[in-house]
Chain A
Amino acid sequence: MNFIALKMLFGDRAKFIGIVVGLTFASLLITQQSAIFAGIMTRTFSFLLDVGLPDIWVVDPRVKYIDDIKPLDDDAYLQVRGVEGVQWAVPLYKGSLAVRTKDGTYQSCTVVGLDDETLMGGPAMMVSGDLSYLRRSGAVIVDQTGAEGKLAHLLPGGKSIPLKVGAEIEINENEAVVVGICKVSQTFQNVPVIYMTYSAATLFSPGQRLLLSFVCVKAKPGQDLHSLCQRIERATGLRAYTRNEFKVLTFLYYLEYTGMPINFLTAVALGFLVGIAISGQTFYNFTLDNLRYFGTLKAMGASNRMLLRMILLQAMVVGGIGYGLGVGAATVWGMYMGAHTQLAFRLPWHLLVVSAVAVLVICLSSAALSIRKVMKLEPAVVFRS
């Protein structure tokens, strides 16, 4: 019967294409939108991933997400160092400063101030220069995307010259020199990132009394991170999060307090509805067109179970093809955009499962209507013309 079911399906080329196009569109839209959503959400905590090493982040108790900077007392990191089970604890500054480029334009940048001694939390990937050059006075490292983009020197013709090692920039009216170019993960704010030492950050930000944003902690081997967090909190009155907790906190904040989930859900719902509307409709019409033949098969001895399996097979085949084409198109699109733009696009396998389930639901609900119709069909109708 599979043979007959497939022949019937492929035989009606117009409807077959219509159904597949609808499902392709739905799975493309669902996959692509959720991949962008996943990409954007990853960017919200990309700083955490870039800093990498610390097990625990100590922050002000009021902090709601990673970019919600509430300065700590300057000596907070010293208090943390005293807690039992801490291998090391370093200060980290994260803030925003205005940078003036050679052509005189101002650009707001994210500034990361690293512990002078260890330079802990510095960029993991240097494109040119070296992290240790930061110890020179007035030295900064700029991220590649910023150096080639917003901080590049614009020429009249529209071309631009990237910021290079040795270039001078002005931070808050102070001279600074670029000693390295690094790679960082794309951040949510999408502004250039500038690394410097903690003391340089103090120098570049006059008037700001408290600069300490985070205390980054490495636990001694074998420590239970949760009890260590509790000990740090008891000793300092601050909040201590494991890296994963801080990530989740940030993620949930963006989920709850921005419009992104709504946008995303709207797009996904749209894909779903379009899928149902186009494919479901067309599939049902396809069944109606063939009702007389389903009736004939029934009269000739095909049981309801056989017909049910035929329709399910037809639905699964169009579903599989539509899903494959949609996910394929979304992947190609994502790879192209990833190579040519700053677009956030992440396609972990979970999302493939999500869109597979969505397509499956569309197919099954389309098939359900058809199946109902065919099950209720009286074989006696074959004699009525």
Chain B
Amino acid sequence: MSETLPKKVENSKIAVHCEGVSKTFGAGNAAVHALRGVDLDVRTGELLMLVGPSGCGKTTLISVIAGVLRRDGGDCTIFGQDYKLMTEDGITSFRGLNIGFVFQAFNLIPSLTTAENVATPLIINGMKPKPAVSKARDMLIQVGFDERMMRSFPSDLSGGQQQRVAIARALVHGPRFIVCDEPTSALDGETGLKVMELLRRLGCVEDRALVVVTHDSRIYKFADRIAAMEDGRITEVVDSASQLKVLSEQTI
């Protein structure tokens, strides 16, 4: 089994460790058990895809891992740290320093230029706007932006371009963990592939882990491992899409 794993993953350490993680929304009859005991490890250096039908708890799980949502039960550590043991302010600054976010709807601030949007995480972490924007420009060059595009506003850009900006924003402050929720769902197939190529090329480095939530099977090939989720639980973790039971069941 081990010979099929890419080499860098083999040498990886554990970035995220989840055991029996649970989360319930609401109470009584209206209670929704979004996570019913999730066991999952994410290793550094890998891109893990989280797949499964809509409503199975993928977004809830990455929200818990990224520290934007508190879990109800179970254990969850990220780089050895447990949100349960941190204060609200501690979690917030932990996110600022260690986590990059990519959203389905891009969430770029409309009144900031491309470069200023990318500079935001640096500014949040206390950098002055001027050096932050200058560092953001370097990052934007890596995602293939020219001078004119850096000065443009999100509304002037295509969806694919906006998601490239979002990726630059998620990477600019060098976080150790990146979460992407359906990063290609708002894009056409071709553009989605390009965005994933970019994410794979720039995002996957040693010491960093990426979790990409998707139900777009065309991008499964960019994953180091794929975790399938169903009804609030991880049902299987495989190395490539062809091994997915869920997928083969679906295609039959």
Residues of A within 8 A of B (CB): 1, 3-4, 7-8, 10-12, 290, 292-293, 296-304, 306, 378-380, 382-385
Contact = CB atoms under 8 A, between A and B. Distances in A.
Given A10-B111, A383-B63, A302 B96 contact: yes
A12 B123 CA distance: 21
A300 B112 contact: no
Contact of A303 (B93, B107, B112, B116): B93
A1 B69 CA distance: 24
A300 B62 contact: no
Given A3-B129, A301-B124, A378 B109 contact: no
Contacts of A300: 95-96, 101, 120-121, 124
Contacts of B181: 383
Contacts of B103: 296, 382-383, 385
Contact of B111 (A1, A12, A292, A384): A12
Contacts of B92: 298, 301-304
Nearest 4 pairs between A and B by C-beta?
Answer: A301-B96, A11-B111, A379-B68, A3-B129
B83 to A, nearest CB: 12
A303 B69 contact: no
B89 interface: yes
Contacts of A290: 109
A319 B87 CA distance: 35
Nearest to A296: B107
Given A3-B123, A4-B120, A302-B96, A296 B109 contact: yes
A1 B109 contact: no
29 contacts: A3-B129, A4-B112, A4-B116, A4-B120, A7-B112, A7-B116, A8-B109, A11-B110, A11-B111, A11-B112, A292-B107, A293-B109, A296-B101, A296-B103, A299-B68, A300-B101, A301-B93, A301-B95, A301-B121, A302-B92, A303-B89, A304-B92, A306-B124, A379-B68, A379-B69, A382-B107, A383-B59, A383-B63, A385-B105
A4 B125 CA distance: 13
A301 B125 contact: yes
A8 B125 contact: no
A290 B96 CA distance: 20
Consensus secondary structure, chain A interface:
helix
Contacts of B63: 380, 383
B9 interface: no
Contact of B62 (A3, A4, A298, A383): A383
A384 B62 CA distance: 12
A302 to B, nearest CB: 5
A299 B101 CA distance: 8
Given A11-B111, A300-B120, A383-B59, A378 B104 contact: no
B110 A382 contact: no
B134 to A, nearest CB: 14
Given A297-B124, A300-B96, A383-B59, A378 B111 contact: no
A301 B125 CA distance: 8
Interface string B121-147: 101110001000000000000000000
Nearest to A12: B111
A382 B68 contact: yes
A298 B104 CA distance: 17
A12 B93 CA distance: 29
Contacts of A383: 59, 62-63, 68, 103-104, 181
Interface string B35-69: 00000000000000000000000010011001011
A383 B66 CA distance: 11
A185 to B, nearest CB: 53
Nearest to A385: B105
Nearest to A8: B111
B8 to A, nearest CB: 27
A290 B108 CA distance: 11
B95 A380 contact: no
Contacts of A384: 59
A292 B104 CA distance: 13
B97 interface: yes
Contacts of A11: 110-112
Contacts of B129: 3
Nearest to A6: B111
A4 B109 contact: yes
Contacts of B107: 292-293, 296, 382
A10, A296, A300, A380 interface centre (most CB from chain B within 10 Å): A300
Contacts of A297: 120, 124
Contact of B124 (A7, A293, A302): A302
A382 B105 CA distance: 9
Contacts of B112: 4, 7-8, 11
Nearest to B169: A300
A8 B109 CA distance: 8
A262 B41 CA distance: 72
